[in-house]
Amino acid sequence: MSRYAMIFDKKNCIGCNACVVSCQQNYSMPAENKLNWVTVEESGEFPDLKLDFTPHLCAHCGNPKCVDVCPVEDATFRTPEGYVLINPENCVGCSLCVKACPYGARSMDTEARVAVKCSFCANLVENGGSPICVSTCPTKCRIFGDLDDPNSEVSKLVAEGKVVRLDEYLDNGTEDFEPYVYYILEEEKDA
């Protein structure tokens, strides 16, 4: 059995949004339904202005509250591989899962009247591929793999303590959700 996770290496993210666009095109999503997104934080003053880009997507939590609040069996569910998925045929569009997600990773497709979110491109991964956002990223800031495979880069980075889990990164008290998204620790800057 596999347990998939995503690691973001923020120092390599250039904010190009190729990941966002390729995902939206692949899944024919309207512009307001981003399954992954990149936030931008500005610091400093001209001419010493700095832009910091942070990629985001569904954390495919080990203890997903979105699954707990869903009133319809198998509308939103967690697979043994760790994917948290939505079955649009069973979704009644109540948006309880959208409200329950502490990471803002779900939204409502108002036209289809169903909840939408990142699937880690489960259909591609299960056929030997990788998520669209990973294969599209020109700077390789997205690292995807199986935490249970000791040879995967994801597993190695976690084992070496080179990453922090999303809840630690955000420091927002969501550790009980057990997110499967990590960020590489920034290296200490020389004084």
The predicted-structure confidence for 110-150, as pLDDT tens digits, reads as follows 999 999 999 999 999 999 999 999 999 999 999 999 999 99
Residue 30: phi and psi, rounded to 5, are -65, 160
| β-pair type (4-8, 181-184) | parallel
> Can you read off the two tokens belonging to residue 66?
């979105």
pLDDT digit string, tens, across residues 62-81 = 999 999 999 999 999 999 88
Q: Percent of the chain scored above 90 by pLDDT?
A: 86
Comparing 187 with 36, the larger pLDDT belongs to 36
- CA–centroid distance for 59 within its chain: 5
End-to-end CA distance of the chain: 45
Q: Does the pLDDT at position 1 exceed 80?
A: no
> Can you read off the two tokens belonging to residue 161?
């303590």
pTM given for the model: 0.91
Task: Output the pLDDT for position 172.
Answer: 86
Q: If pLDDT is split at 50, 70 and 90, which confidence band does 189 have?
A: very low
Rounded distance, CA 76 to CA 94, Å? 12
- CA–centroid distance for 23 within its chain: 12
Task: Output the pLDDT for position 187.
Answer: 63
